[in-house]
Amino acid sequence: MATTRFLTEKFGGYRIAKQPPIDEELTRVGRGTPAGELLRRYWQPILHSADLKDLPVPVRILGEDLVAFRTTAGAVGLLERHCAHRGASLEFGKITERGILCCYHAWHFAPDGRLLEAPTEAAQNPYTGKLCQGAYPTKEFAGLVFAYLGPPDRVPPFPFYDSFARKDFHFGLGEPDGNKINIQPTNWLQMMDNTPDQAHEAFLHCMHSGPQFLDQNRRPITELAIIGELDWWETPTGLACHEARRVGPDIWVRSMELFFPNCVQVCRPPVFPPAYPGGATEVEYPPFLIRWKVPLDDTHTANYSIIFYFHGEPADYFTRPTPAAKALYNDRTYEDMQRFPGDFEAQVGQGPIAIHAREHLGHTDRGLAMFRRMVRDGIEAVRRGDDPKNVNRGASGPIPTYSRETMVRLPPPNSPEADKKLLRDTSRRVFERSLAAAAR
Ligand code: FES
Ligand SMILES: [Fe+2]
């Protein structure tokens, strides 16, 4: 039977290809897979520092089962979960000053994997001091433990973005649903595709489910329902994603940033109507979070966020979903999910691994296509033996970022066409200014 992916026949469901294959190259995250090897070239958050207490913590990341622990001397270890002796799980091990003892026969491993002692063996044996349990390097930053799972000779510098260097911020952790992390039963790529897909904000987060975001005064942002002019620019670190909207006499340039390959930066939303300081005609809003979307395996992805608060401001997520539409997360009734769908429903509804061969991309999907192209280029770079984008080896000082959520007082010109052009030009000007600031 002939099937088609571009159906033009009414009542033609029978003709559709039912099971086109997934894009294996972009979606699989296990070791040896193309995207899995790319993702292994970056530091990834794996848990909160505060969760490393007196017991080992099982960790799953990039399809690998590991165990994290903190020695009583304070060093963090991240080891293969199954002991190199006979495979007992180190999650049942005992933490020591120098490492962890396996529960089964007390083989003793250091945080770097070295076998320190093997009490089942004679003093002279081929293992002690030589054999290593699989181990990965870790780093702690802002209350998160990060791990690097790639080749040991390619460890990248930690991605210290300029937002981390701001003296006016202190850092918070967590997700707006009150959970420490948020895990979605979906592939990493469709969670990342969501960032350059700004068109969904007006529909999903405002018109379809009612306004789902609050401004800094906790007022629902109804202005999100205005459809804007979209644009995307590749940056040294990833992709800047803009949407410029007309809001009365002002232009709202919404600006999200994708840090390649699996991290995003989001700014504080404006206050409406905007207050322009001291007669200025523009006001910028600072970043408010950097969020990694970490693949646990092919079909589960965890959000880990570092949230920026001003000193003196309570460390309370100021964009909690509105009570009427708590649709950003997943602990709701099925009826609520149907009435007020949010990112969770949109992304999980695409299936465990979204099938690109079923898609019909349009002009609002250009940024998403740019991102997927970037992932393919990154995979190629790894295959060639090069560093992929945003590894920043040899960077001196903080890594510049480019998201600048901005309001501009610029009343509309005479025609809708002229206004569209003004929106696009203003959006580009905001981006070019952030590029120029980064170059200084
Ligand atoms: S299985 Fe771990 S020490 Fe024997
Ligand atoms: Fe969204």
Q: What was the pLDDT predicted at 227?
A: 92
> Which residue matches tokens 């040294």?
236
The answer to which of 207-211, 329-333, 424-428 has the lowest mean pLDDT is 329-333
Residue 218 binned pLDDT confidence (cut-offs 50, 70, 90):
confident
**Ligand of minimum distance to the alpha carbon of 131:** 1
Quote the CATH superfamily of domain 44-147: Rieske [2Fe-2S] iron-sulphur domain (2.102.10.10)
Average pLDDT over residues 58-86: 98
Residue 265 binned pLDDT confidence (cut-offs 50, 70, 90):
very high
Average pLDDT over residues 195-199: 97
Percent of the chain scoring above 70 in pLDDT? 95
Pocket around ligand 1 at a 6 A CB cut-off: 83, 85-88, 102, 104-105, 107
Rounded distance from Cα 346 to ligand 1 centre (Å): 45
Q: Is the peptide bond before 273 cis (omega within 30 degrees of 0)?
A: yes
Q: What was the pLDDT predicted at 325?
A: 44
Nearest CA to ligand 1 atom 1: 86
Look at residue 396 and tell me whether its pLDDT is greater than 90. no
Q: What was the pLDDT predicted at 220?
A: 87
Look at residue 409 and tell me whether its pLDDT is greater than 50. yes
Q: What was the pLDDT predicted at 317?
A: 61
Q: What is the DSSP letter of 205?
A: I
- Please provide the CATH number assigned to the domain covering 162-439: 3.90.380.10
Rounded distance from Cα 101 to ligand 1 centre (Å): 9
Indicate the domain borders of the chain.
Answer: 44-147, 162-439
Q: What is the pLDDT of residues 129-163, one digit of tens each?
A: 999 999 999 999 999 999 999 999 999 999 999 99
Look at residue 252 and tell me whether its pLDDT is greater than 50. yes
Residue 187 CB neighbour total at 10 angstroms: 28
Q: Which of 85, 89, 91, 121 for mutating ligand 1's site (highest number of atoms within 8 Å of CB)?
A: 85
Q: How much is the pTM?
A: 0.95
Residue 324 binned pLDDT confidence (cut-offs 50, 70, 90):
very low
Q: Which of 104, 121, 128 for mutating ligand 1's site (highest number of atoms within 8 Å of CB)?
A: 104
Average pLDDT over residues 401-419: 97
- Are 44-147 and 162-439 the same fold in CATH? no
Q: What is the pLDDT of residues 290-312, one digit of tens each?
A: 999 999 999 999 999 999 999 98
Q: 375 versus 315: which is more confidently predicted?
A: 375
Q: What is the pLDDT of residues 76-94, one digit of tens each?
A: 999 999 999 999 999 999 9
The stretches of 238-323 forming alpha helices (DSSP H) are: none
State both tokens at 425. Answer: 């030009």
Q: 404 versus 215: which is more confidently predicted?
A: 404
Rounded distance from Cα 343 to ligand 2 centre (Å): 5
Look at residue 350 and tell me whether its pLDDT is greater than 90. yes
**What's the CA gap between 137 and 139, in Å, rounded?**
7
Question: 108-109 and 100-101 as β-strands: parallel, antiparallel, unpaired?
Answer: antiparallel
Atom number, ligand 1, closest to the C-alpha of residue 88: 1
The answer to which of 25-34, 267-276, 314-323, 428-437 has the lowest mean pLDDT is 314-323
Query: What's the sign of the alpha-carbon dihedral 51, 52, 53, 55?
Result: positive
Q: Which of 101, 107, 109, 121 for mutating ligand 1's site (highest number of atoms within 8 Å of CB)?
A: 107
Q: What was the pLDDT predicted at 328?
A: 54
Q: Which of 80, 81, 86 for mutating ligand 1's site (highest number of atoms within 8 Å of CB)?
A: 86
Residue 91 CB neighbour total at 10 angstroms: 19
Q: What was the pLDDT predicted at 177?
A: 62
Beta carbons within 8 Å of 240's beta carbon, 6+ residues apart? 232, 233, 234, 255, 256, 257, 258, 402, 403, 431, 434
Look at residue 196 and tell me whether its pLDDT is greater than 70. yes
Look at residue 327 and tell me whether its pLDDT is greater than 70. no
**Ligand of minimum distance to the alpha carbon of 345:** 2
**Ligand of minimum distance to the alpha carbon of 83:** 1
Rounded distance from Cα 86 to ligand 1 centre (Å): 5
**Ligand of minimum distance to the alpha carbon of 193:** 2
Average pLDDT over residues 257-261: 98
Across 62-180, the runs of DSSP E, i.e. the strands, are 64-70, 76-80, 94-95, 100-101, 108-109, 115-117, 138-141, 144-147, 169-173
